[in-house]
Amino acid sequence: MAIREASPRRPIRTTVSLPAETLEALDYWIEKGQVVSRAEFIDRATARELARLRDEEIDSLYEEAADDPELAAQDDEIMKAFESADSETARMLDEEHGPWDAASN
């Protein structure tokens, strides 16, 4: 089934089947004024679920990267490359502001 091209926020009519109790609960909240419409609620709920799935996918990619030995080696190289710069910056800050005291910060 092809979806016709539309602007990102232009609605496309579709049909979904939901359990009667779900629709009754949704209609209850619409009547109370907590929800504008079924479509608006389903759109917001779908957007939240899609964001959650995207976040899970990103988390999974980070977990995979954490176990990648090549990435770990690159990370070690970068840390070593910045080691002297970090030491120099710390020395300069100590000279300008005095030694950093973790207890007072």
Per-residue pLDDT reduced to its tens digit, 44-56: 999 999 999 999 9
pLDDT, average across residues 54-73: 92
User: pLDDT (tens digit, 9 = 90+) per residue, 15-27?
Assistant: 999 999 999 999 9
Torsion of CA 83, 84, 87, 88, to 10 degrees: -150
15 within some domain: no
85 within some domain: yes
Structurally, how many domains does the chain consist of? Answer: 2
The dihedral built from the CA positions of residue 36, 38, 43 and 48, taken in this order, carries a sign that is positive
Q: Is 8 helix (H, G, I), strand (E, B) or coil?
A: coil
**Host domain of residue 84:** 68-98
Q: pTM higher than 0.85, yes or no?
A: no
C-alpha to C-alpha distance for 34 and 40, rounded to whole angstroms: 11
41 within some domain: yes
